[in-house]
Amino acid sequence: MRGPGMRWVAAAAVGALVLSGCAGKEERAAESGQTGGGSGWNAGAGTVKVGLISPMTGAYSILGILQENSIRVEMDRINQAGGIGGAKLELVIRDSALDPGKAVQAANEMVGDSQVKMVVGPSLSAFYNASKGIYEQNRMLNCQPGVGTGDFSVLKYGFRSQDPNDIGVDKMMQYLKSKDIKSVGLVYEADDTGKAMDGYLKEYAPKYGITYMGYQQTRPDDQSHRPYIDKLKDAGAIMVSSNASGAKTMAAADEAKYKGLMAGTSGLQNVSFLDAAQDLAIGAVFAAGNLQFNIRDRATWKAGYRTHVEAIEKRFGLVEGPKSGAKMPKGTAIAADCVTAFAKAAETAKSLDPDKLAQAVAGLNIPDTETPSGNAIKPADHEFYHVDDIHIYRWDKDANGWFITDVTSKS
Is residue 32's pLDDT more than 70? Answer: no
Average pLDDT, the chain: 90
Task: Give residue 14's pLDDT band: very low, low, confident or very high (50, 70, 90).
Answer: very low
Domains of the chain, CATH where assigned: 25-163+331-385 (3.40.50.2300), 165-293+389-406 (3.40.50.2300)
Is residue 4's pLDDT more than 80? Answer: no
Task: Give residue 101's pLDDT band: very low, low, confident or very high (50, 70, 90).
Answer: very high
More confident residue, 318 or 193: 318
pLDDT at position 39 is 64
pLDDT at position 6 is 34
221 conformational bin, left if phi > 0, alpha if psi -120 to 50, beta if neither: alpha
Is residue 3's pLDDT more than 50? Answer: no
The pLDDT tens digits for 346-361 are: 999 999 999 999 999 9
Contact 187, 240 (CB under 8 A): yes
CB atoms within 10 A of CB 399: 4
Is residue 21's pLDDT more than 90? Answer: no
Give 8's contacts (C-beta < 8 A, 6+ positions apart).
Answer: 145, 146, 148, 162, 163, 242, 266, 267, 269, 270, 288, 332, 334
What number is the average pLDDT over the span 290-294?
A: 92
What number is the average pLDDT over the span 123-139?
A: 95
